[in-house]
Amino acid sequence: MTPNWKDLETFDDWADALRSLMDVARAALKAGDAGARARIKKDLIAFVDRSPDWIVKELDSLAGEVIKALGKAAIDDAISDIESRTVDLARLTKAIEAGTAANLQEARRIRLERARKTVDSITQTVGSLSDLKASLESGAKDDAIRTDIETLIESLQSLRNTVENG
């Protein structure tokens, strides 16, 4: 079961691929199928060769341990080693997921903080524009400025509503 390497992009994609390879390795060991052991060993080596270090360095280490387990003469020991690596994979996946969740939460917090600052700034700007509008006198020039201020205030209020509700 050679993965389609081009489809693997995220950590989860690579972890799922390794999980599948480990399942195949375990089955090959239990079946006592030397040919299947050799094929899955090649797939695991390809996993290590093709995986991007920046995203799956720990997975490569687990794959290396499974490769070593496949080379053991005692099948029960090899299966036990693969089971141990399966637990390590689950632990690593949980750690990555927890880190991802924390990063997403921090990104939301930063976005909310920026949105609040933007809303406050727009509110102050609208207040200043309203004060300017109130200070204008009658006349063609001031009427044109007043009209532009009203248009600008409407646009700013629309933007503020979008930011507040977005």
The DSSP 8-state label assigned to residue 138 in this structure reads S
Within the chain, which residues score under 50 in pLDDT?
none
Class of domain 5-102: mainly alpha
Cβ(77)–Cβ(65) under 8 Å? no
What is the identity of the amino acid at 148?
Answer: D
CA distance 29 to 81: 11
pLDDT value of residue 54: 63
CB atoms within 10 A of CB 103: 10
Rounded Cα–Cα distance for residues 80 and 76 (Å)? 6
Percent of the chain scored above 70 by pLDDT?
Answer: 94
Domain ranges of the chain: 5-102, 108-165
